[in-house]
Amino acid sequence: MKNIDEISARVREGDRIDRDEALDLYLHAPTALLGELADRVRARKHPARIVSYIIDRNVNYTNVCVARCNFCAFYRPVGSMEGYVLGFEEIFRKIDETIELGGGQLLLQGGHNPDLPLEWYEDLFRAVKARYPDFRLHALSPPEVIHITRMSRLTVPQVIERLVAAGLDSIPGGGAEILVDRVRKLLNCHNKATADEWLDVMRHAHRAGLRTTATMMYGHVESVDERLEHMFRLRDLQDEMGGFTAFITWSYQPEHTELGGFEATGLEYLHTLAIARIVLDNFDNLQASWVTQGGKVGQLSLAFGANDMGSVMIEENVVRAAGASYCMDEAEIVRNIESAGFTPKRRNMHYEILGDPVFRERDVPRMLELAVARAEGDDSRPPEIVRYAARSAQEKKLRS
C-alpha cells in the first residue's frame, strides 16, 4: 500500500493516479480528505464556480422488457397487464409540457420491447423533429441500441446511422451498471450487453460524432475493485475517443426488485463520487444524483467533486419504481446551488451554457412532485402501434 499522503500529493499536483492508488484512496482515505481532493480537481476544471443543470424530461417510452435485469423494479414482462407503450401523441404532449417549463430535451429510454422495431424509433424521432425542430433527443442507452441491432439484424454503426438520420442527437450512458462481466452475469444483465458491447456502442457513437454520457450503478453485488475497473475502462475509452460529456453514478435502489438487499449509505455515495472525480481526470463533468440521494446529499455532492446538478427532470419512473422519489424543480435546484456558494447556469446536453434560470425570467409553475409516464389505470394502446409488425406471441394474439 502506498502512503495516502503521497497519493494525495500527486492528486493535488494534477498527476494521474493508477488503479492501485485509487484503491488505496477509496479504502483508506478519510471522508474529508476525499472531499478536499475531489474539490481541488473540480476547481481546476471549473474555476468560475459555475454549477450547471439541464431542464429536460426523462420519458420512458415503454416498460415492456425482455432483458429482465434482477435489479430492475421498472420493467414488465411481455404480455403483462401493466405493460405500456407511449403513443406519439402522448410523447408530443410531454414535449409541450417540457417546453413550457423551459426545457429543450427529452431523455428517452425504455425497456427492450420486442414489438417496437427500428422503424418505430425512426418514425418517432422524425415526427418529433418535424414538430419541434430545435428540440433535442438524448435517447436510447447502449443496451437499447444493441436490442435494436438484434431485432433488425443490422450492425451497431448501421443502427446508429439510421437513428441519427431520423433525429437522434446524443446517447445517454444508461445500462452500464458495472462494466465487469462477472457482475453483469450476477445481475442478469450480461445478456442485454456485455461490458465490451456497452463500450463498443459508445465507441461507435463517438465515431459517428455523437456525444454521450457514462453512468455507474454501484452497491449491489460488485466489489470496490470492480467499481474501479468500471471507472478505469471508462477512462481508457475517454482517452481513446473523448466523446463522453459527463459521468453520473448512483447507488442501486433495492425496493421491489428481485435482487433485494439494501441501499449503500450516503457517505459511500460521496466517497464514490469523489473517487470518480479523481480517477476520471479526462471527464469534464460529474453530475450529482439527487434523484437517488435526496436533495441534501445531492447538494453535498458539490463539495465532493460534482459540478452539475443533473436534470430538473419533470418526470421519472425507473428509480421511483425502486423506492426513490425525490423531486426538485428548477427553483429548488437553483436554491441548492446558490446556498452551496456556486453560480447556477442552465446548460444543454453538450454542457454548453444556455443562460440563467428560466424561473427568474418568466413565471414557471412550481413543481413539487415528479410526473409519471402514465396516469394510473390508463391502459390505452397507442393507435400507431398496429403499423409495426408484432414479434411477440402475446402481441400477435392481442391484435388478432
Partner 1 sequence: MTPQQLIDTPDLIAAGVAGDEVRRRMHGAKTTFNRVFEVPVDAPPAALPARVNAGEFRIVGKPSTLDALTAAVRATAALAGEVPVTVFSVFDLLSLPQSIRVVAAAIKEAGASALVHLPIDRVENAELVAQDVRAADLIILSIGVDDLDDNNRLALCEMAGTLQSRAGGFKAFAPLPRKMSVTKPTTGYDDVRMVALARVVAQNIESIQVDWALYGPKLAQVALTVGANDLDNVAAEDPGVLGTRRSPLEEVKRNITAASLEPAERDGLFNPR
Identity of the residue, 67 or 186, whose beta carbon is nearer to ligand SF4 in the bound complex = 67
Q: How far apart are CA 36 and CA 42, in angstroms?
A: 10
301-340 residues in contact with ligand SF4 (CB under 6 A) are none
Applying CB under 6 A, the site for ligand SF4 has a residue count of 12
In angstroms, the Cα distances linking 356 to 108, 303, 319, 346 are: 25, 22, 29, 6
Residues that bind partner 1 (CB under 8 A): 30-32, 35-36, 39, 260-262, 265-270, 293-300, 303, 332, 335-336, 339-341, 366, 368
The cell numbers describing 253, all together, are 435502489
- Min dist CB 59 to ligand SF4, Å, is 13
CB within 8 A of 320, min separation 6: which ones? 370, 372
CA dihedral (111, 117, 122, 124) positive or negative: negative
SS3 letters across 198-250: HHHHHHHHHHCCCEEEEEEEECCCCCHHHHHHHHHHHHHHHHHHCCEEEEEEE
Residue 218 · residue 264 · CB < 8 Å? yes
Identity of the residue, 34 or 146, whose beta carbon is nearer to partner 1 in the bound complex = 34
Select the residue interacting with ligand SF4 from 40, 42, 57, 192 (CB under 6 A). Answer: 192
Of partner 1, ligand SF4, none, which one sits near residue 72, judging by CB under 5 to 8 A according to partner kind? Answer: ligand SF4
Identity of the residue, 67 or 241, whose beta carbon is nearer to ligand SF4 in the bound complex = 67
Identity of the residue, 234 or 264, whose beta carbon is nearer to partner 1 in the bound complex = 264
Of partner 1, ligand SF4, none, which one sits near residue 137, judging by CB under 5 to 8 A according to partner kind? Answer: none
Radius of gyration of the chain (CA): 21
Identity of the residue, 51 or 72, whose beta carbon is nearer to ligand SF4 in the bound complex = 72
Identity of the residue, 144 or 329, whose beta carbon is nearer to ligand SF4 in the bound complex = 144
- Min dist CB 193 to partner 1, Å, is 30
Of partner 1, ligand SF4, none, which one sits near residue 368, judging by CB under 5 to 8 A according to partner kind? Answer: partner 1
Q: How far apart are CA 14 and CA 287, in angstroms?
A: 21
CA dihedral (327, 331, 337, 338) positive or negative: negative
Binding residues for ligand SF4 (CB under 6 A) = 65, 67-69, 72, 74-75, 111-112, 143, 189, 192
